[in-house]
Amino acid sequence: MSLPQTPSFSLKGKRALVAGASSGIGLACAAALGQAGAEVTLTARSTDKLTEAVDLMTKAGLTATSFAMDVADIARTQAQVAENGPYDVLVNSAGLAKHSPATDTTEADFDAVANLNIKGAYFLTQAVAKGLIAAKKPGSLINISSQMAHVGGIDRAVYCATKHAVDGFTKSMAIEWGPLGIRVNTICPTFIRTPLTEQTFAIPERVKWLEEKIKLGRVGEVTDIMGPVVYLASDASALMTGTHLLIDGGWTAD
């Protein structure tokens, strides 16, 4: 008899593309993948913070590069992925929220959120998959979704709709590309403390709502996402595809 060996969490030899990597969850994911051994390419619309992030990662002994990319610009994004790929791992953390009561939603706000959260995410995932298929390589494609892909939320009708859609196309892509060894999953966090969410934490009634919903009694930190993203990117999750990891402190357990 011999003991089974734990599959490797190492990403050495892997190339990873992280969209929305200039801050918050995206930056944490880039750091996590780099710390696991991946060669990481960080992208976002603005290059200023990307340069700082790459410098920090390089000084920490990690391998990182960057370029500017707007996921909502489909044609340009496809060209950039084709030019710089193939990538073994994708983490798409680019996203947008414009919260308001459903009766106040404007067509412009709806289009802005949907164009990035659904359309941009769809075609970025497609672009990375095309590169893997052409190179006849397996891969792990991860979209940062939300717990709001599984529940509703106050003033979040549009955001919830887009995240439900992301989980939907993830399942279909996973079915299509599974025979090729390409896995597609989502990570669905609860409210994570980042510069973009501080406006929510500044509203007392919203904080009360969060405290009532999150069973562990605290909001998330970006470090809460780092272990799960390495897990999904690595061979440790080799049989996982077409599903989601809920990192929600028990929000959806009800």
CA dist 162 and 121 (Å) reads 10
Separation of alpha carbons 104 and 83, rounded Å: 41
Which residue(s) pair with 247 in the sheet? Answer: 189
**Catalytic: which of 87, 122, 159, 231?**
159
Judge whether 113 and 102 are in contact, CB under 8 Å.
no
Spatial strand order in the sheet of 89-92 = 63-68, 39-44, 15-19, 89-92, 139-144, 182-189, 244-247
Strand partners of residue 76:
none
Is-catalytic flag, 231? Answer: no
Spatial CB neighbours of 199, under 8 Å, sequence gap ≥ 6: none
The catalytic residues are: 159
